[in-house]
Structure 1
Amino acid sequence: MSKAKKKKKVTPNQQTSSSKWIFWVIGIIAVCILGLIVLSNMSKGGGDERAALTYDNQPYLGKESAPVEVVEFGDYKCPACKNFTESFFPLIQKDYVDTGKVKFYFMNYAFINNDSSRAAEFAETVYKELGNDTFWKFHELLYKKQNAADEKKDVLTESYLEDTLKEVSSDADAKKVASAFKDGKGKDAFDQDMKTANDLGITGTPTIYVGGKKFEGKTIDDFDQMVKDAAKENK
């Protein structure tokens, strides 16, 4: 029968060294975890931070003196945008735009198909050539005439857009816009909107920003609170 091995005795100094080693390992791990958390939060940018939005040369509704900017990123082929324009926006216009609480802007995020980009660039040309009032009439009419069955078809042709514009302007003005569109007069404005939307990481429409912050709510009460908060921050 073999002899049992004797267990080595651990001296007090060895116990102390072992404890210190474990303490430092745990400390290093904790520091690493904390660092990862901080880096993660920095990369997310924080939900309360304002987006760097530029409102110059953008079509808007409301008084120049309104303290809060509200922006809708939309697509003229998007059924949800049509619903927003016809159902939710009238409440915003009545209680916030017309009362001088907000300036309401529209920016393009055209992502559904070729119709989306064509209509968006044409609308930008309307704004450039005929001004703010005609733009909003054309904007509203495009959504009003939107057909859900045509979502995946190319139906918003140049001739369709020109004919639609004739419903809210003269034939001469519509031809003027159609000619300017062919010359690419609305492309820079459209490209700028798309760059802004992509920089913000927008992936769908309608996407709303209130006072530079993304609207995550679902009701008019949520919207009201964001407007009030933004107004306080702007004082």
Structure 2
Amino acid sequence: MSKNKKPAPKKGKPQNAAKNTGGAPRPKPQNQNASASQWTSGSKRKKSNLGVIALGFVGLVVVLMVLIYVLTKAGETQPTDSAQTTESVVLTNYDASNQPTLGNPDSNVKIVEFGDYKCPDCKIWSETVLPELQTKYLDTNEASFQFADYPFLAADSTLLALGGQSLYEQNPDYFWPYYKAVYANQDTTKVKENWITEDYIVDLVKESVPDADIEKFTKDLKNKTYQADVDADVKAGNDSKITGTPTIFVNGEKVDNPTLANVEAAVEAAKAK
């Protein structure tokens, strides 16, 4: 069998040419310029990213500084504003000795309503909140309730207030049927109109308080016998910085937004003291 012989080198080829040893192919020399270009490009990207991060950090610092400035300024003015909005309104120059009263007048919790008989909100309050308070606190003698006149919606508001005061002076028990009857017959479409007359009130008293001395009541109403008592209530309301009706006080402090829940909370707080 013939053997394959390595062919003799061709002429012109150097004898000492490097041989391929059968290993991994020799790597081709890299383009130095290309390699440098890659590194340079990478450095630019890194520098660009660092620039973006730096700008973002600076922006964040600026935002934080602005927020700190705003909050600092707000903090400087807040105590004054807060003091104005949260300042408690206190019942001032109010004489509780001669007022229509429900419940125990000697109780430690005293509720006072300033109301106008022509006020629609007073009507709602008297027909929804007061009955609940009466059941829970007045009938159980845990609190007392007084009504004070604050007629301001129209001229005839004062006439209605005089009617209530005249009946109270005649007999304290006559006041509350009148209080309920006036609200029950309120005309919410004529709040600002001056339409209530003496005859209207006399007829209302004849119907709602049949035991009253109508002759005396009519005379007192016509002569405005108890105008000074109504005026005293109005002055107390003004001194107490009342801005509308109904305004409710519990132990001399005004109840903001006098819903049943808010008045009950004020009563419970007063009981706990």
Common topology (TM > 0.5) = yes
Aligned match of 1:213 in 250, 253, 256?
253
The amino acid of 2:152's aligned partner reads: F
Please tell me whether residue 147 in structure 1 is matched to residue 187 in structure 2.
yes
Please tell me whether residue 99 in structure 1 is matched to residue 146 in structure 2.
no
Identical positions, percent: 34
Matches of 1:172 and 1:218 in 2, distance apart? 33
Structure 1 residue aligned with 2:17: none
Please tell me whether residue 224 in structure 1 is matched to residue 264 in structure 2.
yes
Please tell me whether residue 193 in structure 1 is matched to residue 233 in structure 2.
yes
Structure 2 residue aligned with 1:6: none
CA RMSD between the two structures: 2.5
CA displacement 1:82-123 (0-9 Å, x = unmatched): 111111111111111111111000001111101111111221
TM-score (normalised: structure 1): 0.75
CA gap 1:217/1:44 in 2 versus in 1, 3 angstroms: closer
The amino acid of 2:225's aligned partner reads: K
Matches of 2:232 and 2:212 in 1, distance apart? 28
Per the alignment, in what secondary structure is the counterpart of residue 209 of structure 1? strand
Q: How far did residue 171 of structure 1 move?
A: 7.5
CA gap 1:220/1:188 in 2 versus in 1, 3 angstroms: same
Structure 2 residue aligned with 1:119: 160
Gaps of at least 5 residues in structure 2 are: 1-75
Please tell me whether residue 84 in structure 1 is matched to residue 157 in structure 2.
no
Structure 2 residue aligned with 1:56: 97
Matches of 1:85 and 1:45 in 2, distance apart? 27
The answer to whether the 8 Å contact 1:78/1:151 transfers is yes
The answer to whether the 8 Å contact 1:61/1:104 transfers is yes
Q: Aligned pairs, how many?
A: 196
The answer to whether the 8 Å contact 1:68/1:102 transfers is yes
TM-score (normalised: structure 2): 0.65
Q: Which moved more, 1:173-182 or 1:77-86?
A: 173-182
Gaps of at least 5 residues in structure 1 are: 1-32
Matches of 2:259 and 2:194 in 1, distance apart? 33
Please tell me whether residue 70 in structure 1 is matched to residue 119 in structure 2.
no
The amino acid of 1:140's aligned partner reads: K
* Structure with the greater alpha carbon radius of gyration: 2
CA gap 1:226/1:128 in 2 versus in 1, 3 angstroms: same
